Amino acid sequence: MQEIKREKIWKLCAPKVEQANEKAALLANKTGLSPLLTKTLLSRGYDTPEKITAYFGREDTSLYDPFLLADIDKAVDRILSAIDKKEKIAIFGDYDVDGVTSVTLVYDYLSKKGASVSYYIPSRFGDGYGLSKNAIEGIAKDGVTLIITVDNGISAKEEVAFAASLGVDTVVTDHHECPNDLPDAVAVVNPHRPDDGYPFNDLAGVGVIFKVVTACELEEARRRGTEDDESVVRRICKEYLDLVALGSVADSVPLTDENRLLVTYGLERLKKTNRMGLDALIRAAMSDRPKKINSVFINYQLAPRINAAGRIDSAARAVELLLSKDKAEAEKIAQELCEYNRERHAEESRTAEQAFRKIEEQAPEERRFVIVVDDDGWHQGVIGIVASSVTERYGLPSILITFDGASRGFAAGDDLGRGSGRSVRGVNLAQALFACNDLLYKGGGHEMAAGLTIRRRDIPAFRKAINEYAKEALGGISPVGCVQYDCKALPSDLTLKLAEEISGMEPFGQGNPEPLFLLEDVRLKAVIPISEGKHTRLILEKDGVEWTAVKFGTPPSKLPVEEEDLSDLLFHLSINEFRGKSTLQLIIEEIRPAESLVKELEKKEKRYAEILAGAAFSATEDIFPAREDFAQVYKTLRAASLDGSGIFSISKMLRLFGAGIGYIKLKIILSVLSEMGLCKIEEPVKNTYLVELTPSPEKTELSKSAILRRLEGQMKD
């Protein structure tokens, strides 16, 4: 299967700011920051020294009063009443990192209050997402009279009513988008409620339950009159912000406003966490080499390991780790989660390969706006991750559905499949699912990520309906992947000082992205595989300055460029610490042939097309090949190919043949070689050729070439 990947558009975040060199220089002079960074901050709205100082000092926001959340007073009264009366309380969570940290936080808090508390996390494989009547029935039989949902429950209207019929109250705490009808619970705490007056609605699930716990503690302190509000908040922050940071970063909520403050302080708590299990997991994740504990470390090291518990086995195992008070047990579970993560990665690779094959087999009209693809055997624990890869490759919203464990030895229309989706800007996936609700058994989520349960027979109608919804949302224009970068950089801009200043902008995430820069016309001096070929290290050079760069997740064979090519790249700036020495390192996000080179090739391609169409050309253009030119090209390609076959970019071939054979002459030679049966040539990607040379070809008279005879007639002295 020929891999197809939609090319992304590279777009400047704020084009007008790119020319604001004078203002950026003025800000740099007043703040002491590098001009490239002040230009970046300008593009994000920080256009005065005061705003920049407040941004770096986290003075542009504060923690909001939790009692501003709708229904939180009802939630606090019911929870404190349950604690006082020794009622049995069950926490109902979710199996992702946000859910696991939410369960851990409230369980730890209630346990320390002497509450009779348990927790229930549904199985991804048996129960699916959210509250279910079977689970509620079991919880009620255990004598539970209060369920507290964390990171779920906002769409569970029927389930909450069922719990009430069994004499069980429910306090819903959630952060997913709200349906039109809220559950009839004792309290529904969700900053996305239309009637909510909270100043910030992008808290993670763990952020919402943190607010509830803070409100409980504030209410108790006020009743006792023994502690002021500020002391209470400071104490609760010290106790739980490590969990809030972990869950918030992993759930990709915007790291702006209150979230930025919570995660900033939470990362500091994470560096010196007193949770034995979390400490063990951090050490296990750093087994290869020490790493900086920041949002990147959470996203790429901690979150995948915690998520792997729910994807491969049970998320309850991750909660056990975070609650563990025994060092040996904590280290054992941490190693288990690392092994689960390895299993998850292997399963993810297998599923991705199958998913891409299925997508390419679909009719284009079936996936113009949203990709919906299903399979009977995909592991439920990895389809969300693979959906992210699908959306990344095609630039389209995608939903992967699996019937793993749902079939009865044969495919039936009423089989229930579980799906996970990822979206792009412009298509609110949660709203799209609400619009298709009549075709779903269950569904809900966020703007950019959502989950669903669907009957097999309804998938074709659902695929059509959600594509129609996305078509309308996008104005009939199929989305194209777009990468926004902050500024163009020059070699002189890239310094260790700038990299250190950028680290002061952390934590990075949605709403506060790590600065992304463009560097043009960079020469690739070396392309080196690392980590058994999984990643690539590059040595770059421009204007006499050299850098080391890394492209993670891409082997050299998958790069669209080769050694000695001129390239453009989008990159983050980082500091590589090795043996006590700090060096600048570029982390490449996107790389492509230099636009200047592409434009030059396009100009030559246009001239080549004119000549093919019959335009006259002069001998001085030096495009008509001599016999020795054919011999050189054929022999050089054979020497450079494997068994007479190889893939060559046009730039690589031009380097191989030297200055005597230019672009147009080369294209003519390849056309004639193909015409005369000396080779087969395909161009699967523009300016990249698959060449198969004919083994032991018969002696060929080039004078018989129709192409050459026609060109001879067009050549003028």
CATH assignment of the domain containing 397: 3.10.310.30
pLDDT for residue 308 is more than 50: yes
Q: What is the mean pLDDT of residues 199-215?
A: 97
Same domain, 608 and 625: yes
Confidence of residue 2 (pLDDT cuts 50, 70, 90): very low
Same domain, 154 and 23: no
Tens digits of residue pLDDT in 27-83: 999 999 999 999 999 989 899 999 999 899 887 678 999 999 999 999 999 999 999
Same domain, 425 and 405: yes
Tens digits of residue pLDDT in 278-306: 999 999 998 756 678 999 999 989 999 99
Share of the chain above pLDDT 70, in %: 96
Structural domain includes residue 445: yes
Same domain, 396 and 501: no
Domain of residue 577, CATH code = 2.40.50.460
Tens digits of residue pLDDT in 492-513: 999 999 999 999 999 998 889 9
Same domain, 587 and 607: no
The stretches of 113-256 forming alpha helices (DSSP H) are 133-141, 157-165, 205-224, 229-250
pLDDT for residue 687 is more than 90: no
DSSP 654: H
Final residue in a domain of this structure, among 238, 254, 274: 238
| pTM (two decimals) | 0.82
Neighbours of 345 (CB within 10 A): 13
At 371 the pLDDT is: 95
Same domain, 72 and 202: yes
Confidence of residue 703 (pLDDT cuts 50, 70, 90): confident
pLDDT for residue 172 is more than 90: yes
At 412 the pLDDT is: 83
pLDDT for residue 3 is more than 50: no
Final residue in a domain of this structure, among 197, 217, 238: 238
Q: Which amino acid is at 98?
A: D
pLDDT for residue 316 is more than 70: yes
Same domain, 89 and 227: yes
Q: What is the mean pLDDT of residues 602-619?
A: 92
The Cβ-side half-sphere exposure at 45, using a 13 Å CA radius, reads 5
Residue (of 235, 240, 328) closest to 277 by Cα position: 328
Q: Residue 57: which residues within 8 A CB-CB, separation 6 or more?
A: none
Please give the Cα distance from 494 to 573 (Å, whole number): 8
Q: What is the mean pLDDT of residues 449-458?
A: 92
Domain, as residue range, for 680: 597-716
